[in-house]
């Protein structure tokens, strides 16, 4: 359902507050190339960005091309990423992605979301991260646990499914804000809008937030 004019005005107010509070918000996964960001984002599933950055600091010195991931024995890659959790499945997805890149795209990461989401372990969230942070392409809005939680508490979406939340946000915010918005909301979720004990009294959005689902 298209967002109403009131919903868009409220979203604009939220965007202004977030921009003022987090003017330098950016992707927190360390990377120097689209490939590195793709790998880091796959590793970030059920793992903190801080842990991923610790692992990739060594990983990216060892694996520099898609061919490096493909020709390395699975067990060796699993050991290299073990501390990120779910390492067997992540290693399988990384190798699968890299094999696809090598065979179909000359080792380069595609810049189309419809292509990326067909790769092993890549959903809309991962594709949006890569396209936004590596290429500056606003293909959608990254919806992780922080963005989903904050969207519901702010009344920007009543949905629980990430893709439905993303659709609501895309209706309310202009495309030019899509990339930075997710980074700002993630920062906000880590600093103030914490899952279990949100810091509502100190929150820069406290006077406009309906605090939906927040227990007093």
Determine whether 144 is an active site residue: yes
209 occurs within a structural domain: no
Q: 40 and 90 in contact (C-beta within 8 Å)? A: no
pLDDT band at 1 (very low <50, low <70, confident <90, very high): low
Taking only the tens place, the pLDDT of each residue in 12-34 is: 999 999 999 999 999 999 999 99
Task: Give the pLDDT score at 166.
Answer: 98
Determine whether 125 is an active site residue: yes
Residue 6 has pLDDT above 90, yes or no: yes
Residue 216 has pLDDT above 70, yes or no: no
Q: 22 and 180 in contact (C-beta within 8 Å)? A: no
Residue 56, Cβ density class (10 Å: 0-12 exposed, 13-18 middle, ≥19 buried): buried
Q: DSSP of 79-100, one letter per residue?
A: HHHGGGSSHHHHHHHHHHHHHH
Taking only the tens place, the pLDDT of each residue in 99-130 is: 999 999 999 999 999 999 999 999 999 999 99
Taking only the tens place, the pLDDT of each residue in 168-198 is: 999 999 999 999 999 999 999 999 999 999 9
What is the value of pTM for the model shown?
0.94
CA distances from 201 to 132, 165, 193 (A): 32, 26, 11
Answer yes or no: do 167 and 130 share one domain. Answer: no
CA distances from 30 to 3, 93, 158 (A): 35, 20, 32
Q: Rounded to whole angstroms, how far apart are CA atoms 129 and 126?
A: 5
Answer yes or no: do 127 and 148 share one domain. Answer: no
Taking only the tens place, the pLDDT of each residue in 94-103 is: 999 999 999 9
Task: Show which of 135, 161, 180 is a domain's final residue.
Answer: 135
Answer yes or no: do 150 and 129 share one domain. Answer: no
Q: What is the CATH number of the domain that holds 164?
A: 1.10.1670.10
Q: DSSP of 39-52, one letter per residue?
A: HHHHHTTTS-HHHH
Task: Show which of 87, 110, 135 is a domain's final residue.
Answer: 135
210 occurs within a structural domain: no
pLDDT band at 215 (very low <50, low <70, confident <90, very high): confident
Answer yes or no: do 109 and 53 share one domain. Answer: yes
28 occurs within a structural domain: no
Answer yes or no: do 121 and 168 share one domain. Answer: no
Catalytic pick among 125, 160, 164, 168? 125
Taking only the tens place, the pLDDT of each residue in 41-68 is: 999 999 999 999 999 999 999 999 999 9
Catalytic pick among 68, 144, 176, 201? 144
Task: Give the pLDDT score at 94.
Answer: 98
How many separate domains does the chain show?
2
Residue 206 has pLDDT above 90, yes or no: yes
Task: Give the pLDDT score at 33.
Answer: 98
Backbone conformation region of residue 212, classed left if phi is above 0, alpha if psi is from -120 to 50, else beta: beta
Domain region containing 69: 34-135
Answer yes or no: do 39 and 128 share one domain. Answer: yes
């Amino acid at each position: 359902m298209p967002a109403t004019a009131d919903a868009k005005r409220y979203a604009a107010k939220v965007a202004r507050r977030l921009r003022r509070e987090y003017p330098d918000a950016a992707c927190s996964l360390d990377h120097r190339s689209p490939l590195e960001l793709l790998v880091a984002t796959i590793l970030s599933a059920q793992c903190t960005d801080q842990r991923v950055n610790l692992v990739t600091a060594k990983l990216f010195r060892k694996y520099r091309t898609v061919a490096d991931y493909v020709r390395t024995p699975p067990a060796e890659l699993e050991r290299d990423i073990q501390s990120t959790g779910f390492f067997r499945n992540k290693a399988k997805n990384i190798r699968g992605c890299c094999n696809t890149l090598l065979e179909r795209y000359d080792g380069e990461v595609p810049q189309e979301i419809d292509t990326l989401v067909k790769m092993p372990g890549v959903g809309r969230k991962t594709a949006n991260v890569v396209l936004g942070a590596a290429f500056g392409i606003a293909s959608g809005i990254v919806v992780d646990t922080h963005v989903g939680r904050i969207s519901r508490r702010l009344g920007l979406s009543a949905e629980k499914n990430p893709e439905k939340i993303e659709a609501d946000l895309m209706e309310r915010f202009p495309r030019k804000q899509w990339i930075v918005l997710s980074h700002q909301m993630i920062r906000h979720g880590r600093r103030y809008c914490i899952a279990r004990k949100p810091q509502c009294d100190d929150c820069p959005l406290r006077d406009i937030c309906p605090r939906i689902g927040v227990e007093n």
